[in-house]
Structures are given as C-alpha cells and as structure tokens.
Structure 1
Amino acid sequence: MNLADRPLATVAADLQSGRRDPADYVATCRDHIDTVESDVRAWVDGGKPREQLAAEARALSARHPDPDSRPPLFGVPVGVKDIFHVDGLPTRAGADIPPGEVVGPESEAVARLIRAGALVAGKTVTTEFAYFDPGPTRNPHALGHTPGGSSSGSAAAVAAGMVPLALGSQTAGSVIRPAGFCGVVGYKPTYGRVPLDGVLPVAPSLDHVGLFTQDTSGTRRAAAVLVDEWHEGILPGERPTVGIPNGSYLEQATADGRAAFERAVDALKTAGYDVRRLSLFDDINQLNSHHGRLMAAETAMSHHDWFDRYDEAYAAEMRALVEEGREVPVADLADARRFREQARDRVETRLAEQDVDVVASPAAPGPAPEGLDDTGDPVMNVPWTTTGQPAVALPAGRVDGLPVGLQVTASFGADERLLAWAKELASAVAGAA
C-alpha cells in the first residue's frame, strides 16, 4: 500500500499561510480515506461525513480570513481516539455497553486542538475501553499484522496518510508501541502535562494523553497546543548524551527487536552521539508487577458501576482485568502507587549520576506481530508509563519489511528538550534497521 506523505508541520504551515485551502485539503483527505479505509479500518463509522467536514472547513475559513492571524493548527484534520468525548460525536470506546452510558463533556485536549484551528475528522478505533481486546484496524504496512493498541486507529490513520495528526492515550504502551509498529512518530508527554478531562479513565495514576504525527516538527507544533505551560523558546543546546539500559529490561525484546535496536544504537554512535550503557530497571519484574496491580485496581474502580450493570457485555480481556482489580487489597494499591514515585526518583537519580540526557530503548519488543487477535506486548513502554517521564517513538528502519521504532525518553518535565532533540535523533536512526 502506498502511504500518503502528510507531515503535519508542512501541512499546517501551508494551511495557515493560505497556500492550501482547508476545504480543498479536507476533501483530499476524505478522498484518501475513502480509498484506503476499507483495508485499514481506522475509523469509527468511516469518520465524519464529507459534507459535514467541508462545511466546518468553510466556516473556519470565514472566521479566520487573514492568514497573519490564523491559529497554529488552522484547517488541520485530526483523528480522535474513541475514548475522548467530542461534542456531536458519540463515545463508544470499542465497547458493547449502551452508548448513552458513555457520555461527558468534551475532552479538554480536543477543545485545545479545536481552539488552535483543528478540525475533528472523526473518531478512530480503539481496543475495548483502551485495553487489549482489539478492534478491526489493520497495520497499513502489512494488512495481516496488528497496528498495535489501544490507539490502533489513530496510529494507522496517520501512517496511512488519512490525517496528519491524531490523538491517542497510553496507560501501558498504547502510544509508543503502535507508533513503532506503524512507522510514525508517537509522543507520550510527561504525566499530567496534558489534562485528562473528558477522557474515559482506565487507570488515572497511569493514564496519559498522547499523539501521532509523521514528523517530529509536527509533533512539536501539536505539543505546543496541548501541553500545559509549554515553553516554546527552549532550545536543545548541545547534542544529548544517550543512555542505553543494560540487563533484564532489554532482554524482554525479541531477538529481531534487540538486533534492530543495536543497529539504531550504532547509527547514533556513527552520527556522533555520546552513547553510554547504564543500569536501569534492575527490578523490572517488580516494576511490571506493580504496574499490573495498579492498572487492574484502578481500572476496576473506573468501571465499578458499568461492570455491575453490564458485565456480560465486556469482552474476555477487559472482564478479566476488572475481576483481577477487584481482588487487589487496598494495601497493595497503596504500595503500587508509592512504588511508582520511587521508581521515578531512582531513574531520575541514575540519569543525573551518569550525566545522561535521554534514554534510548526499543519502542516495542520487535516489529508488529502477524494476526489481528493480539495487539502486541507493552513491556518496553511500561517503565516509562509508570514513572511518567516523557517519551517519543521515532521510526528506525524495518525488519522483514515491517517498521520498527526507537523509544527515546527524558527526565520528568523535559518535554520541550526531548522534542527539540527528536528531529536530529530521528534523522540519525531513520534507516538503521
């Protein structure tokens, strides 16, 4: 499948300046959606109708006739994962419970994009309640392979060139992993820097709003709109020192995944980066266990009322998670929350001791698995979701024709520096595997 090239930074600049007309551009996007959606299946109900999207684009142009005063995402069509509430669009969350149960005010993240001039192109497919039970979405690079989850539709829509920007969320690995599988840029901000208001909760101590683009410059443009207290003037300065985790954490990757990762590390060295091996996550089994207990317990609380009324409507994976979470003792939940803070402190201390600016690791254990019944394993992402540190997935070549990604993380709150560094890091590893 030929994937359209729709980098957000270029598209946004053209729309903002008047070199492209929003109505014409969304018509082009709708044409492309109509061409590939039957194969990829990224959208809930195929996305917004063409006529509605065109009318919204014309109304936007009427409100902002002067290119010099147009907002930064003027006319950009956006896919929105179907756990975000959007005015005028139902929230189904990939679930079978009655749609009238899943209601709420519009997501603050969506509202920020709309205020910045974006046009919601429709809801994108999610796994059931953003957990593991997959929807119909396929990987645009190989239709018989998973696009990852739970932000499957958003990652696939961007990878297939249907839209240049899409919202996702991550509670374990649901932004970084599908970005790696689909060969796009995925960004998970520092925990709490994008509000979760209007997003269906999974586990609030772990939930992050994230996004997908085809380019790191576009990621920065969108982040400046979404992230609280974004400091646009922060520049990266010198090249970052890159840390590489040793030990059991990396051993969770497949043989192909580790080989691809080491090629990316070699590419960074060739590009002149100072690369240092360091010990991180020596307690990876304990960390994974605490993450799992915390996620299960808080998911059970988030679904307490729904599950009591509609437990038979839940698919197997989600039902098992809620039932497991209901058995977690309060003391274990408190321990898991405390462990999260301690894990972050340990990582931050280790990075400071070793004078490391960013950590590079695989975005997923390997390339996207074959089949659509399994969205892949989030183990490479779980530590960074637990600690809440910012992460970006960068395309890092291919294995057997399938994309693989490099996950790059930074200190808590250092989102601006991470994304400023991301452009050169992405260039260094683009053809690594």
Structure 2
Amino acid sequence: MYLNRSSLVEDSDLLRSGKIELHEYIEKYLERLEQIEPIIQAFVAQDDLRSRLNQEAVKVKSTYPNPKDRPPLYGIPVGIKDLIHVSGFLTRAGSNLPPQIITGEEASIVSDLRAQGALIAGKTATEEFAYQGVIPTRNPHNINHSPGGSSAGSAASVAAGICPLAIGTQTLRSVIAPASYCGVVGYKPSYARIPITGTIFCSSSKSTEAELLQANITAN
C-alpha cells in the first residue's frame, strides 16, 4: 500500500495562515513525489519540476504576502489530466501523436485555479483520448490492481498523497470510477456547471459540457 492522507482543507488552512511556509510545503511535496511517483506513475514525466514549482511558488508568495489576502487554493499543487491544455506544458492526451498538432490555449479551469493561488503539480496520466489503452498508472492501494478509467492518474495522485487536488474529465465514468477504485472523493458537477474550453474531447458526439470535472479531494 502506498497511501498517504492529504487533506485539501487542512493543507489550505496551513498555507494560508502561514503555519507552514510555502517553500517548506513544496519541499515536502517533492519529497513525497520522488518517493512514490516511480511506483505509482500517476504523472506524465517532466524535466524541470523542482525549478518550475519553486518559481510558481515565488510568484504566488509575492502576489499574496499578507495571509489575510490569500485565496482558497494558495500554494496547493493541483494535478491536471493530460487532456486539458496548460500553458507551459505539452498536451499529449495519452497518445503518441506529435503534441504540436493537438496544442491549444490554456483551459479556463486551469486559469481559474491559478487565479485562486493553485500551483500546477503536472499533467496526470490518461488513457489515449480518454477512451481506452494501457497506461502505467498503478492503484496506490495495491499496485497489482487497476486504478480505474481514464482519469486514473488524477485519482492515484491524490490517493497516494502526492497532491490534495486533481482535475479529471468524464464522458461516461472516467472520474467517478477511478475515484472509487482509488478510494478518494470524486466530484461530478451538474451539466454545464464548469466550462470545457481548452479540453480535448473523447469525441464530439459523446462529449458534453459535463465532461470537465473536479476530482479527488481527500486521500482517505
């Protein structure tokens, strides 16, 4: 078992109040990631993670020096499913296609997360175009068990306590199944509740405005 409790509410309270310093929190996050990610494989590989996260942290910290002014997600690392465009990241959608042909503007949900003080933990692994295919992600409860459907990387990253919040997408059951398999909270909002700009769809006929979903808030 590779589980570790990670509470979004508790982490947010600690960071916003200054009870834990942001760079100290980032170091603990990176320590957990380096220990667990090679086993769980929840994220798409990235080369400059440490320097990028620290740069984002410096920017957020300078923007909100006063604890009373800090937004709800101040300093929280959020995993983003690799169907959703994020500035500074390639989007591969779990495929072997050249990422240049599926690039696009940053999704509004990502921009909204940044505006609330969130840091981008990285792109989380997905089945090819959220449809099917083998992905390396393992279930933190038992690495020999399935982590669920196409938002498996997002669910596993939270269940393993790597990050307290991750975003997935759902056309059929791609958020609620991985959340269930990995034992975390998966939230499916009402139709059209969250904008889907900057998202690659499974298919135009299957996709709905309910596809972009917030997922996986606490680990236990």
- Residue 83 of structure 2: aligned partner: 83
1:204 aligns with 2:207: yes
Alignment root-mean-square deviation, CA: 1.4
Superposition pairs for residues 31-430 of structure 1, below 5 Å?
Answer: 31-46=31-46, 49-202=49-202, 203-205=206-208, 207-210=210-213, 211-214=215-218
- Residue 342 of structure 1: aligned partner: none
- Structure 1 residues 195 and 171: alpha-carbon distance in aligned structure 2, compared to 1, 3 A threshold: same
Q: CA deviation at 1:206?
A: 6.4
Q: CA deviation at 1:46?
A: 5.0
1:21 aligns with 2:24: no
Equivalent residue of 2:112, what SS?
Answer: helix
Q: CA deviation at 1:40?
A: 0.4
Paired with 2:48 and 2:212, the residues of 1 have a C-alpha distance of: 22
Paired with 1:199 and 1:116, the residues of 2 have a C-alpha distance of: 20
Equivalent residue of 1:45, what SS?
Answer: coil
Q: Which has the higher contact order (CA 8 A, sep 6+)?
A: 2
CA-to-aligned-CA distance 1:220-277 (integer Å, 9 cap, x gap): xxxxxxxxxxxxxxxxxxxxxxxxxxxxxxxxxxxxxxxxxxxxxxxxxxxxxxxxxx
Count of residues in correspondence between the two structures: 216
Paired with 1:174 and 1:48, the residues of 2 have a C-alpha distance of: 29
2:196, 2:209 within 8 Å by CA — same for their partners in 1?
Answer: no
Paired with 1:48 and 1:131, the residues of 2 have a C-alpha distance of: 29
Q: CA deviation at 1:55?
A: 1.8
Paired with 1:212 and 1:47, the residues of 2 have a C-alpha distance of: 25
CA-to-aligned-CA distance 1:372-400 (integer Å, 9 cap, x gap): xxxxxxxxxxxxxxxxxxxxxxx7xxxxx
**Greater Rg over alpha carbons, structure:** 1
Amino acid at match of 1:204: S
Amino acid at match of 1:51: S
Q: CA deviation at 1:204?
A: 2.5
Amino acid at match of 1:153: G
More helix, by proportion: 1
Paired with 2:41 and 2:120, the residues of 1 have a C-alpha distance of: 17
- Structure 1 residues 56 and 205: alpha-carbon distance in aligned structure 2, compared to 1, 3 A threshold: closer
Amino acid at match of 2:212: V
CA-to-aligned-CA distance 1:160-194 (integer Å, 9 cap, x gap): 00000000010000111100000000001001100
Paired with 1:98 and 1:56, the residues of 2 have a C-alpha distance of: 27
1:134, 1:149 within 8 Å by CA — same for their partners in 2?
Answer: no
Amino acid at match of 1:75: G
- Structure 1 residues 115 and 70: alpha-carbon distance in aligned structure 2, compared to 1, 3 A threshold: same
CA-to-aligned-CA distance 1:256-307 (integer Å, 9 cap, x gap): xxxxxxxxxxxxxxxxxxxxxxxxxxxxxxxxxxxxxxxxxxxxxxxxxxxx
CA-to-aligned-CA distance 1:99-126 (integer Å, 9 cap, x gap): 1011111011111110000000110000
Equivalent residue of 2:39, what SS?
Answer: helix
1:48, 1:122 within 8 Å by CA — same for their partners in 2?
Answer: no
Paired with 1:47 and 1:185, the residues of 2 have a C-alpha distance of: 30
Q: CA deviation at 1:201?
A: 1.6
Q: CA deviation at 1:19?
A: 1.0
1:168, 1:174 within 8 Å by CA — same for their partners in 2?
Answer: yes
TM-score (norm 1): 0.49
Unaligned 5+ segments in structure 2 are none
1:201, 1:207 within 8 Å by CA — same for their partners in 2?
Answer: no
Equivalent residue of 1:167, what SS?
Answer: strand
- Structure 1 residues 149 and 141: alpha-carbon distance in aligned structure 2, compared to 1, 3 A threshold: same
Unaligned 5+ segments in structure 1 are 216-394, 396-433
More strand, by proportion: 1
TM-score (norm 2): 0.94
Amino acid at match of 1:197: T
